[in-house]
Amino acid sequence: MLIITIKSRYFFTLILLISIIAGCTKKTPALPLLSNDSVVLAFGDSLTYGYNVTKNKSYPALLQKLTGLKVINAGISGEVSEEGLARFPKVLNDYNPKLVILCHGGNDLLRKMDIEEMESNIRAMIQLSLDRKIPLILLGVPKPGIFLSSADVYKEIASSMNTIFMEDLVSNVLSDKLLKSDSIHPNENGYNVMAEEIYSLLLDSGAIK
């Protein structure tokens, strides 16, 4: 009887540990499978445009090579979120994407513009995409500083709007001197890391096979 009790306790302890581990493991949210003719829209500022590298070395161009899908580079260097929101509807109309990758707000942060206004603009862009039933991936952008991490507002936006969120990608790239061309932009290797990480997320989420 003692042996059975010990085994039973061991069994239930093991089940509990497995449940805890499973609960702590982050699972990539599912995305609809993209057909071969799907268009992916990369929308943002200089981080999307590919500042300091040739256009074919930007992360959207590299992501296009990895996925075999058409990836539109709709990045404009120096653009703030208010300007991005103003042009976003036309870009959606022009390209009718099946997936949007949004990386915006960096210039608002650099210029110390109103955070609440930036948040409102980014939320509005996300809502425009969701209203058209276009899934969206949000990239967090860090505040300027020595120790980089995504500005808290991005996590708040992603959580409340149930948006797939790559919190640390840009921060991690810009924290590595081997991956950046200046203090706020990746180099060719950094953009390649961005493309590869987004490609991995698309695979894990089921968006591509």
Q: How far apart are CA 139 and CA 170, in angstroms?
A: 7
Q: How far apart are CA 23 and CA 198, in angstroms?
A: 24
Span 95-112, pLDDT tens digits: 999 999 999 999 999 999
Residue 76 lies in a domain: yes
Secondary structure letter of residue 142 according to DSSP? B
8 A C-beta contact, residue 205 and residue 164:
yes
Q: Say which CATH number the domain at 185 has.
A: 3.40.50.1110
Per the DSSP assignment, residues forming a β-bridge with 75 are 44
- Domain total of the chain: 1
Instruction: Please tell me the predicted confidence (pLDDT) of residue 26.
Output: 52
- Reference 103, options 6, 159, 171; nearest CA is 171
Length of the chain: 209
Residue 10 lies in a domain: no
Instruction: Please tell me the predicted confidence (pLDDT) of residue 192.
Output: 98
Residue 171: domain span: 33-205
Span 116-146, pLDDT tens digits: 999 999 999 999 999 999 999 999 999 888 8
User: Is residue 179 pLDDT above 60, yes or no?
Assistant: yes
